[in-house]
Amino acid sequence: MLRSLVFTLVTFMAAHAWAEAPAEPATSSDHHWSLANLIVPTATQQAIGSKLGTSVIDKAPVSDLSHVIFAAVVFVILLLMLIQAAWKMKAQRGSVLPEKKFTPLAVFQLLSDALLGLMEDLLGREKALYFLPLIGSLGVFILFSNLMGLIPGFLPPTSNLNTTFALGTIVFFATHYYGVKANGIGYFKHFFGPIFKWYALPLMLLMFPIELISHIARPVSLGIRLFGNMFGDHAAIAAFLAVGIFGWILIPIIPLPLGVLVCIVQALVFCILSTVYIFMATEHEDDSAEAHG
């Protein structure tokens, strides 16, 4: 009952602010009212933004920090949940039974088990356990960031290109780091194509820019895919908020179930693709040896 009252109150505030807001061009990070201006005043955001200079993505002056604020909110929420889950695990040391109630520990158990099962099919048990902290951290952060956009007054950090490109960049550097760690300097041979011989030099010179572009495109595609889906999903929710009491009634019925599905699927797609990229980097030498054998 209390959660329903809070949801209704925040929904009313969001819809009222939408109706009262002056008509002006919308941007990717500031297309309607949000609680970010209550958490950090607009003047403070502008002062911080002026010191940050211009955005790396669109080269425009940084004027809105909503995605940073809500990313920090997600981080704090996850940190508190992890502390509670760690305390619960310590209290239940030796127990092998899953949680009966919907607690933070149960949430992390469910997410980690599901993700580990998917990673095992591709990487095997040992490597899946090794890379689970990286992929799991990205997946949990993305999932909670996506779901935040379903709450009226909140913006999903993943609806901003700066956030999604940062996540894609982490996967990009991690992929090549683990590739070099697993295969040594020979990891970079695959940038020159399947045949690394002197007589294949013309083919190697042709394959190098192609492979380079394909690797650079990976974090870009990860970032754009996640941004596009979450921006569109959040815009659909905002459109229902803008129609007044009619939209308040329809919000729980129509877009929210679909929105939850989109949030889960996009986090899952990001994790699967990241796992595939790491698998291709760490197994490349083994695959080449089998192909030539």
Tell me if 140 sits within 8 A of 116, measured CB to CB. Answer: no
Amino acid 147: pLDDT: 92
Q: Is the pTM of this model over 0.85?
A: no
Nearest to 277 by CA among 175, 179, 209, 131: 175
Whole domain around residue 83: which residue ranges? 2-292
- The whole-angstrom separation of Cα 141 and Cα 205 is 40
- Token look-up 């009952």 returns 1
Amino acid 98: pLDDT: 65
Per-residue pLDDT of the chain (293 residues; tens, 9 = 90+): 333 333 333 333 333 333 333 333 334 444 456 777 777 777 777 777 777 777 766 677 777 788 888 999 999 999 999 999 888 888 777 665 666 777 888 888 889 999 999 899 888 889 999 999 999 999 999 999 999 888 877 888 998 888 999 999 999 999 999 999 988 888 888 888 777 777 777 788 888 888 889 889 999 999 999 998 888 877 777 676 666 555 556 556 667 788 889 899 999 999 999 999 999 888 755 444 444 44
Amino acid 8: pLDDT: 33
Helix axes 66-91, 161-183, angle to 10 degrees: 50
- Token look-up 């030796």 returns 94
Sequence-distant (6+) residues with CB within 8 A of 277 are: 171, 175, 218
Amino acid 137: pLDDT: 94
Sequence-distant (6+) residues with CB within 8 A of 275 are: 118, 119, 122, 123, 131, 135
Tell me if 278 sits within 8 A of 136, measured CB to CB. Answer: no
Say whether 261 sits in a helix, a strand or coil: helix
Number of domains in the chain: 1
